[in-house]
């Protein structure tokens, strides 16, 4: 049975960022993603100060900023009518050098993390999902399904569920999703 100190489920923005941080600190990990490659989602993500500070430690903050758009303020429209204007510095505690919100295409952001950060300390298994796990007190035993046919059992010290709002891992642990899903349309211009 192969052992990894950390197993990350999900190669979205959160999973990739976690993998990049583990890579930076030379901590071996396994990144597991059920898709065959990074999922193409041509939509913007908003990145705030704390994420940019992490990106700065990873050495990719300037590249992310160059790839995105900086916003210092925002106008709020409801039913096509402008109802409010506000500056991010009025509602969020900003300080230099990241006193703005960065909007970047999710594909560009994830590709930046994938290409610039992942390296020799981690391994990525594409088209693989965790189909079960058990914490025996000393370690976590996880069962992987690879390419929809091969099953492999591994062990790890930590299992990080970065598999999105519909996380099967979180559900199996009885941890609810405390965020809110919205069908509203947001436009950044």
Specify the residue for token string 């509602």.
91
* 144-169 per-residue burial string, b: 16 or more CB within 10 A, e: under 16: bbeeeeeeeebbbeebbbbbeeebbb
Global confidence as pTM: 0.80
Residues of the chain with confidence (pLDDT) below 70: 39-42, 91-96, 179-189
Q: Any long-range contacts for 112-115 (C-beta under 8 Å, 24+ apart)?
A: 112/60, 112/63, 112/64, 112/67, 113/13, 113/16, 113/17, 113/19, 113/20, 113/60, 114/11, 114/16, 114/38
Predicted confidence (pLDDT) per residue in 81-128, tens digit: 888 887 777 766 666 678 888 999 888 888 888 887 778 899 999 999
Residues with Cβ < 8 Å from 10, sequence gap 6 or more? 32, 33, 161, 162, 163, 164
């Amino acid at each position: 049975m192969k052992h990894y100190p950390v197993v990350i489920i999900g190669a979205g923005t959160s999973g990739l960022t976690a993998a990049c941080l583990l890579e930076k600190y030379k901590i071996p990990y396994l990144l597991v993603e059920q898709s065959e490659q990074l999922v193409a989602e041509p939509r913007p993500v908003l990145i705030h100060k704390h994420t940019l500070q992490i990106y700065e430690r990873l050495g990719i903050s300037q590249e992310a900023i160059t790839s995105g758009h900086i916003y210092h303020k925002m106008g709020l429209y409801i039913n096509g009518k402008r109802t409010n204007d506000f500056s991010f510095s009025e509602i969020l505690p900003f300080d230099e050098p990241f006193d703005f919100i960065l909007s970047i295409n999710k594909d560009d952001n994830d590709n930046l993390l994938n290409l610039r950060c992942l390296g020799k300390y981690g391994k990525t298994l594409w088209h693989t999902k965790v189909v079960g796990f058990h914490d025996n007190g000393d370690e976590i035993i996880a069962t992987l399904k690879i390419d929809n046919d091969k099953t492999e059992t591994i062990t790890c010290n930590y299992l990080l569920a970065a598999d999105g709002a519909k996380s099967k891992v979180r559900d199996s642990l009885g941890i609810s999703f405390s965020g809110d899903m919205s069908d509203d349309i947001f436009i950044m211009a």
